[in-house]
C-alpha cells in the first residue's frame, strides 16, 4: 500500500512537467513585505535591545511570522507548538492560496477532529529565525540601512530559533506548551526546547532527528551549500537586486535535487521510476537525455526555487550542521539531564539521512540519566520524508502519546 | 581493525591539507600527448574504418592506453583483464611517478607473489574509451580538425568500452582471458564481457556492481553531472583553451565531494571525523567555518580535479547510468543465458551506492538460467570503496576463485 507523493502535484509531475525557462523564476522565493499575507501573523521582538545570537551576532527589530489554529484556553493549557523542518514554514495546515504556495505541510494532522485537534488544541507554528516566509532572514530588508541582509545575516543556531519561539510563547501568554512537536530540523528545535526551557513543555515529540549532526549529515548539507555557492548567480549572496531570472535558482534547485535523494529511498525510487526515460534512448544517445528520476528531481528543485531563498538555505543547513545538544553544556548527559518532560522519539525504518539508530540513541541517552523517553518506529519505505507522508502512522503515534500526556496530572 | 585511508596521503590530508588556490589547477587533469608516458602502452584502432558506437556516434583513429604486468604464456592462457572504475585508469599497479599521479589503484593485489601474480599471470588494464589517461576521450585532440573533442565526443556505453578491449585482446593475441575482473564501473564491463563475448573468458569477477543502474544511482550520477554543468568554467564543455586556473575544477571537485559521501559510510565518517572542526567554533560562528569532514571532502575533490577531466566525468557517469545488461537483448534472462564462464559476484556489507542486494540479484539471475554464479560478501565498514581498501578480503575471494578456475579444465 505504498503511496508515492507528498502531494498530488508531485505525483503527476514527473510525467507531465516541463522544465520552465529560468527567466520565469524570481531571484528569491522568499515571502517579502507587500506579498499576500495569507494566514500569517507577525510578532516583533528585539525592538528595544538587540537579540544576541549564540554564535555572537546581533539582530534588532526581528519579525517572527507565525500561524495559529484553534482557540487558546483560559488557562493556556491546550497550546501545542509545531516546529518546521528545513524548507517548511509556518503554514503547517490549511490550503495553498495567496501567500501560501503550498498546502500546509502537516495538513492531515492539524485541523478539526484531527490528531492535533483544533477544536480542542491551540496549535502554533512559527517560521524560524533565518527563514524566508515572513520571519527575519537574509532576504529581509535590513531596516537600519538600505538593502537586504543577504550574506550579512548572522549565523543562526537551533537554540536561537527556540529563543525567538519562547518570546512568541510569552507574547501569546503560553507559560507551558502541552507539547512541542517537530521533525528533522523541527525535531532539533524540540530537543532544544526540552533542554533550554525544561519547565515550559509537558511533552516533547521529536521525529527523524538527532542529538547532534553526524559527519555524514554535515557532508550532505555542506556540499549542498557549496552547490549554491558554485552558481555564479548567487553573487556571494548579493542577488536580491538582480533582474528576474538571474537569481541563484540553478544552485538552489540542484542543492534540493541532491537532498531529495537523501530524503527518499532506493526502493521507492525503483518502484516509482525504475529506468523509465523522458527522452527516449531509441535514437542516438545524448549526454543530457533524461531518465524519469532526473525529471522528478528537476521538478522538486524547481518547486523549491520558487518558494525558498538561497541564503536562507545556506543559513538553515548550517544551523543543522551546528546542532549539538551537548555543546557548551559539559557533555551530553548534563544536557539531557535537564529534560523534564516525557520525550517521544520517532524514527523511520528506511530513513538514510537521519537513521533510526539516532532516534534510539536519544531515547537511550535520556533514559540513562533517569528521564522518560520512548522510541516509536514508523514502518515506511519513504525514507526521511515519511514524517511528511505517513499521516496514519504519525497520527497514531502522536495521538497515543498526547492522550497519555493529557490524562497525566503533571 | 578499521583502517581509514585508500592511501597514506588521504589519511593525513584532512589534518594537514590546505585548499590550494584555484589558479594552480590545470584546466583538465587529463593526460595529454607530450606528458610523461609512465608505464603506458598504446594501441590504435578504427584507423581504416570508423568505430560505430552503440549510441550511434562514430569515432576514427581511437587510441587505447593500457598497461601490462608479467609475461604472456606461449598459449596465451595466463592473461587476466582488470577493468577500472569511474575515476581509475590503466595504472592498476605500480608506484606513482612521472605520468602517474597516483599509485596503482589495486597495487596490493597485482604484482609478484600477489593474488594476481605477475610471476605467473599476464595482467592487462586499459584506460576506458572516453577516459582521460591516454585513451581517446573528450580531452583528446580531434585529429580530423583543430581542437579537442570536448562535448562533441559521442556518448559511450559500457559495451563500447568492452568492444575496444576485445580489439586490444586481439592485438595482444589473447583469444580467451583466464579472468576478467573489475569493481563498480569495472564490474559493469566484466558483465558485458560475459554477455558480449561468452567464449572469451574462463572466469568473471564482478565487484560491487549491478545488472542495470537503478533510479537512485542515476539520481546520484546525474546530479553530479549537473554540478559540473553549473560551473561557469565548464563553458559547455569548451574549456581546454581556457587559461590555467579557469577550468571547471570547482564543479568537478564538488561532483567528487558528493560522490565521495556515497562511496564511504556513515559509520566510518563518524569514527574518523565525528564533529571535529577545522576552523574553531569558539569565536563567532561563520557560514564557511568547516568541520573536518568538509576538509576531507575538499581534499578528495581537489585531488580528482588534478588528475581527471570534467568532460570524461560526464561521459563515464552517463555510461554508468546507461548500463543495463538487458537493453536490446529481449530481457534479462536471454542476456544472462549468454554467460558461459563462472561468475563470482562480490558485494560489500556497508555499500550504500551499489548495495549488496544487487550483487545477490545477479547471482540469482544467472543461477535462474542455469549459469554458474557465486556470491561473496566483503565484511567492511568502508562502503563502496571497500573494493579498493579491503585488500586482504578481496585477495582471499579472488585467490580462491582463481585457483578453482585454474584447476578446472574448461
Q: What is the pLDDT of residues A368-384, one digit of tens each?
A: 999 999 999 999 999 99
Residue B184 falls in the annotated catalytic set: yes
**E strand or H helix at A345:** strand A343-348
pLDDT score at A13: 52
- Residues in B closer than 8 angstroms to A220, CB to CB, are 261
Min CA distance, A292 vs chain B (Å)? 8
* Grid coordinates belonging to A187: 525535531
pLDDT score at A15: 54
Query: Which residue is associated with the grid cell 520571519?
Result: A135
For chain B, what are the domain ranges? 8-407
**In this complex, is the C-beta atom of B16 within 8 Å of any C-beta atom belonging to chain A?**
no
Phi first, then psi: give them for residue A86, nearest 5 degrees.
-40, -60
pLDDT score at A57: 94
Does the beta-carbon distance from A291 to B157 stay under 8 Å? Answer: no
Residue B282: pLDDT band (50, 70, 90) is: confident
**Least confidently predicted of A338-347, B25-34, B224-233:** B25-34
Q: What is the pLDDT of residues B66-110, one digit of tens each?
A: 999 999 999 999 999 999 999 999 999 999 999 999 999 999 999
Does the beta-carbon distance from A261 to B219 stay under 8 Å? Answer: yes
* Contacting A residues, span 217-276, partner chain B, CB-CB under 8 Å: 218-220, 222-223, 225-227, 230-232, 250-251, 254, 257-258, 261, 265-266, 269-270, 272-275
Mean pLDDT of chain B: 94
CA distance linking residue A70 with residue B168, whole number of Å: 75
Class of domain A1-29+223-322: mainly alpha
**In this complex, is the C-beta atom of B19 within 8 Å of any C-beta atom belonging to chain A?**
no
Residue B9: pLDDT band (50, 70, 90) is: very low
Among the partner-chain residues B55, B213, B290, the one whose CB lies closest to the CB of A285 is: B55
**Least confidently predicted of A257-271, B9-23, B339-353:** B9-23
List all residues 6 or more positions away from B112 whose beta carbon is below 8 Å from its beta carbon.
B118, B119
Among the partner-chain residues B231, B265, B321, the one whose CB lies closest to the CB of A230 is: B231
pLDDT score at A1: 30
DSSP secondary structure letters along A102-140: S--TTTTTEETTSSEETTT-EEEEEPPTT-SSSSSSTTS
CB neighbourhood size of B99 (10 A): 15
User: Closest chain B residue to A274 measured between Cα atoms?
Assistant: B215
pLDDT score at A122: 98
pLDDT score at B8: 38
CA distance linking residue B108 with residue A281, whole number of Å: 40
| Catalytically annotated residues of A | 184, 351, 384
**In this complex, is the C-beta atom of B52 within 8 Å of any C-beta atom belonging to chain A?**
no
Q: Is the pLDDT of residue B21 over 90?
A: no
- Active-site position among B91, B323, B382, B384: B384
Average pLDDT over residues A33-37: 95
Strand ranges for B56-193 from DSSP E:
58-59, 62-69, 79-83, 110-111, 116-117, 122-126, 179-183
**In this complex, is the C-beta atom of A331 within 8 Å of any C-beta atom belonging to chain B?**
no
Query: Which residue is associated with the grid cell 547532534?
Result: A212
pLDDT score at B16: 59
* Grid coordinates belonging to B248: 571547471
pLDDT score at A282: 82
Residue B342: pLDDT band (50, 70, 90) is: very high
CA distance linking residue B275 with residue A212, whole number of Å: 9
Query: How large is the ipTM?
Result: 0.95
Task: Give the three-class secondary structure for B336.
Answer: helix
Min CA distance, A318 vs chain B (Å)? 7
Q: Is the pLDDT of residue A5 over 70?
A: no
Strand ranges for A33-74 from DSSP E:
41-45, 51-52, 58-59, 62-69
- Active-site position among B351, B380, B382, B385: B351
* Grid coordinates belonging to A12: 503527476
User: Closest chain A residue to B258 measured between Cα atoms?
Assistant: A223
Average pLDDT over residues B228-235: 97
pLDDT score at B2: 36
Q: Identify which of A52, A51, A78, A83 has the alpha carbon closest to the alpha carbon of residue A66.
A: A83
- Residues in B closer than 8 angstroms to A317, CB to CB, are none
Q: What is B8-407's CATH superfamily?
A: Alpha/Beta hydrolase fold, catalytic domain (3.40.50.1820)
**Torsion region of A378: left, alpha or beta (phi above 0 gives left; psi -120 to 50 gives alpha):** beta
- CA torsion through residues A18, A21, A27, A31, sign: negative
Q: Is the pLDDT of residue A10 over 60?
A: no
What is the percent of chain B where pLDDT is above 90? Answer: 91
- Residues in A closer than 8 angstroms to B295, CB to CB, are none
Residue B30: pLDDT band (50, 70, 90) is: very high
CA distance linking residue B128 with residue B105, whole number of Å: 15
CA distance linking residue A224 with residue B227, whole number of Å: 10
* Grid coordinates belonging to B177: 582471458
Among the partner-chain residues A215, A269, A283, the one whose CB lies closest to the CB of B291 is: A215
* Contacting A residues, span 100-119, partner chain B, CB-CB under 8 Å: none
Amino acid at each position: 500500500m505504498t503511496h508515492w507523493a507528498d502531494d498530488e502535484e508531485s505525483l503527476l509531475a514527473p510525467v507531465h512537467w516541463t522544465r520552465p525557462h529560468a527567466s520565469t523564476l524570481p531571484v528569491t522565493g522568499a515571502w517579502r513585505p507587500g506579498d499576500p499575507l495569507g494566514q500569517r501573523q507577525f510578532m516583533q521582538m528585539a525592538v528595544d535591545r538587540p537579540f544576541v545570537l549564540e554564535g555572537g551576532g546581533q539582530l534588532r527589530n526581528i519579525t517572527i511570522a507565525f500561524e495559529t489554529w484553534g482557540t487558546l484556553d483560559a488557562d493556556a493549557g491546550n497550546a501545542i507548538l509545531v516546529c518546521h523542518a528545513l524548507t517548511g514554514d509556518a503554514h503547517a495546515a490549511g490550503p495553498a492560496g495567496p501567500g501560501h504556495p503550498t498546502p500546509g505541510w502537516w495538513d492531515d494532522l492539524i485541523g478539526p477532529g484531527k490528531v492535533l485537534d483544533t477544536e480542542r488544541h491551540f496549535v502554533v507554528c512559527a517560521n524560524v529565525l533565518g527563514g524566508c516566509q515572513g520571519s527575519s532572514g537574509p532576504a529581509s530588508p535590513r531596516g537600519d540601512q538600505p538593502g537586504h541582509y543577504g550574506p550579512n545575516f548572522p549565523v543562526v543556531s537551533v537554540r536561537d530559533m527556540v529563543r525567538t519561539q519562547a518570546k512568541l510563547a510569552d507574547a501569546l501568554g503560553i507559560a507551558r506548551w502541552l507539547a512541542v512537536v517537530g521533525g528533522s530540523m523541527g525535531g532539533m528545535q524540540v530537543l532544544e526546547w526540552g533542554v533550554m526551557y525544561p519547565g515550559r513543555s509537558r511533552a516533547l515529540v521529536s521525529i527523524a532527528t538527532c542529538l547532534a549532526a553526524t559527519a555524514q549529515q554535515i557532508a550532505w548539507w555542506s556540499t549542498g551549500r557549496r552547490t549554491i555557492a558554485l552558481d555564479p548567480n548567487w553573487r556571494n549572496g548579493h542577488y536580491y537586486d538582480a533582474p528576474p531570472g538571474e537569481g541563484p535558482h540553478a544552485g538552489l534547485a540542484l542543492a534540493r535535487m541532491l537532498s531529495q535523494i537523501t530524503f527518499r529511498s532506493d526502493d521507492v525510487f525503483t518502484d516509482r521510476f525504475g529506468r523509465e526515460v523522458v527522452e527516449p534512448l531509441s535514437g542516438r544517445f545524448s549526454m543530457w537525455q533524461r531518465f524519469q528520476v532526473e525529471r522528478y528531481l528537476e521538478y522538486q528543485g524547481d518547486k523549491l526555487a520558487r518558494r525558498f531563498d538561497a541564503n536562507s538555505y545556506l543559513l538553515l543547513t548550517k544551523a543543522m550542521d551546528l546542532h549539538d545538544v551537548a555543546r557548551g553544556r559539559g557533555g551530553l548527559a548534563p544536557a539531557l539531564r535537564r529534560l523534564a518532560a516525557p520525550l517521544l522519539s520517532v524514527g523511520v525504518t528506511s530513513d538514510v539521512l537521519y537513521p533510526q539508530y539516532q532516534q534510539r540513541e536519544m531515547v537511550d541517552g535520556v533514559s540513562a540519566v533517569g528521564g522518560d523517553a520512548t522510541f516509536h518506529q514508523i514502518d515506511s519505505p519513504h525514507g526521511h520524508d515519511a514524517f511528511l507522508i505517513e499521516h496514519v502512522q504519525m497520527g497514531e503515534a502522536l495521538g497515543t502519546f498526547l492522550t497519555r500526556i493529557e490524562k497525566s496530572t503533571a
